[in-house]
A and B are shown apart, each in its own frame.
Chain A
């Protein structure tokens, strides 16, 4: 580290020591304990637990739903960040503060709220029967009979009936702040004159976005995406309220861990956790690699 700029900060070794202690106490030691717990099992047992079809299905659901949710947040989070930075509009500050809401709200409350919205008599889920009655009533007055089946709009309760849909919905909620908050500072620093320059050189809107703006945003965007994705993998509280939790179909991996714990199978729970962590780590490393590559590429360009 000799000659590096960090030397100007006094007490460098103290801060480094503290950082290492902090990370070890909070992350490394518990992680080591988790891995150690699995050594209570033989490899055959470990393999049997982690490759059980029901457990495999739960990994698949967790990663698919988290990925979809992160993708949705990637697209819409970018749009939200853009709108908040670029446009002054009444209530803009309020909406900006609202973005952090999912951080503060206990996710179990979020799950319960979403669940009750899409109930058969919830605000949104209950809209179906009311709309059908209204349309049919109006048609009846006009002598057109009843064009809609009574159950025609029951799909509005989709988070309950659609399995993965509901899970993705709450994961989009809990992951909302990440992309917005990582992209926002870059956009604030960004000088709109680059766009003006590109336009004057004859670039179309899409080309400007694709060739000028997005490459600049990409490293921040992908870290936001990775954070939202990781958040989704670990989420438990909100999902169990909205998922139907049927084994092999709609049980997320964290629920599998809780199930094992409730049966006093500590080692089996740890085994599922270790596999979940390993897959997450690999994915996050890959995303980090992409980000690094993009940063280097950008600097070289």
Chain B
């Protein structure tokens, strides 16, 4: 938390000094600020090096890339409040929609880049203690007596919103696709485009089950996805952690593979963290071309391979295949086909008075 604040502060200070120096800097030197969410720190540190080197080779100019990380909602808020981000790479579409509604990003951003403008994906899986003592293999096992589930608060954590959607979709037997083949991906895209009504929202049984889970199996609710990892791995609370797949790998690497096992449920959600150029900022600063190239570069074979290395699922099928031992293929359902996209999911589930709030409403 503190480190996060510190980094945001650092990025802000960096930006301030940039504004001060802007008029005197050589015209050829360009700076870009990428405002991102928590777990992507390593990914963008490495990608920035890759992209800056390529930029220097192509143009001969120096590109300085700055990055800022924090909770996705909080980062979106900073951009709305005036942090001059050239690009945003956030955890969920809703946060970019919020920036769009503030008038900083033009509508239609999700169509400007391939794959719903999310160059890499991830999913929600389980982290359990070594040897899986409680025998947690699939979603239904979370309701076993005595099992304690660690997840973050969906009101404040982007990752936890994906967890909530994964739970809901899996319980409602959402239609899944095989994302390891081009044909499966095409089917999923077609199904999303064709989806009209979304019966999962009317599933009262699922809602009751989820309320039961949060009321009786969730002992703590951290504000952020990273906080829930700390609760599970460092504070040793609970029997199973529900979180981003890449975050689970990070926890396993950080705290030692001898302590934890990653468990993949039979189906899960394809989480699609989107990226977008902040139109108003790049037009003001004259950085549109390089900002667009920066995001486009995320789809390049090198960047896709890098994503795979750091436990994100590459969109590129060759890269995905290369890392299939660590990122096993399971059937995925999508937010667009199952829930009709972020705006609908956000207003039904997570807005004030939504289904999540009802879980904790005291009985009158």
Contact = CB atoms under 8 A, between A and B. Distances in A.
B263 interface: no
Contacts of A262: 71, 73-74, 77, 155-156
A54 interface: yes
A259 B156 contact: yes
Contacts, number: 79
Interface in B203-230: 218-223, 227
A255 interface: yes
Interface string A28-60: 000000000000000000000100111001000
A119 B233 CA distance: 11
Interface string B336-350: 000000000000001
Contact of B155 (A106, A121, A241, A259): A259
Contacts of B1: 108, 237, 240-241
Contacts of A244: 219-221
B235 interface: yes
A245 B223 contact: yes
Contact of B235 (A54, A106, A116, A240): A116
B256 to A, nearest CB: 14
Contacts of A106: 2
B360 A54 contact: yes
B360 A263 contact: no
Contact of A245 (B73, B80, B222, B234): B222
Nearest to A248: B360
Contacts of A259: 153, 155-156, 223
A49 B357 CA distance: 13
Contacts of A283: none
B236 interface: yes
A280 to B, nearest CB: 23
Contacts of A263: 73, 155, 350-352
B233 to A, nearest CB: 11
A258 interface: yes
Given A121-B236, A160-B237, A262-B156, A248 B361 contact: yes
B94 to A, nearest CB: 10
B80 A264 contact: yes
Nearest to B363: A53
A247 B356 CA distance: 10
A255 B362 contact: no
A247 B127 CA distance: 24
A14 B248 CA distance: 61
A138 interface: no
A258 B153 CA distance: 12
A248 B362 contact: yes
How many chain B residues sit at the interface, stated as a range, is: 20 to 34
Nearest to B101: A264
B290 interface: no
Interface string A146-188: 0000000000000010000000000000000000000000000
B250 interface: no
A178 B352 CA distance: 38
Contacts of B219: 244
A54 B234 contact: no
Given A245-B222, A248-B361, A258-B223, A120 B352 contact: no
A38 to B, nearest CB: 16
A246 interface: yes
A116 B234 contact: yes
B172 interface: no
A247 B160 CA distance: 15
Among B80, B222, B235, chain A packs the most CB atoms within 10 A around the CB of B235
Nearest to B364: A53
A261 interface: yes
A109 interface: yes
B171 interface: no
Contacts of A19: none
What 6 A-B pairs come out closest when comparing CB atoms?
Answer: A247-B360, A262-B73, A244-B220, A108-B2, A262-B156, A248-B360
Given A116-B234, A259-B153, A262-B74, 19 more contacts: A49-B352, A52-B352, A53-B361, A54-B357, A54-B361, A106-B2, A115-B235, A119-B236, A121-B236, A160-B235, A244-B219, A244-B221, A245-B223, A246-B360, A258-B223, A261-B77, A263-B155, A263-B352, A268-B352
Interface of A: 49, 52-54, 57, 106, 108-109, 115-116, 119-121, 160, 237, 240-241, 244-249, 255, 258-259, 261-265, 268
13 contacts: A52-B352, A108-B2, A115-B235, A119-B234, A160-B237, A237-B1, A240-B223, A245-B222, A258-B223, A261-B77, A262-B71, A262-B73, A264-B77
Interface of B: 1-2, 71, 73-74, 76-77, 80, 98, 153, 155-156, 218-223, 227, 234-237, 350-352, 357, 359-362
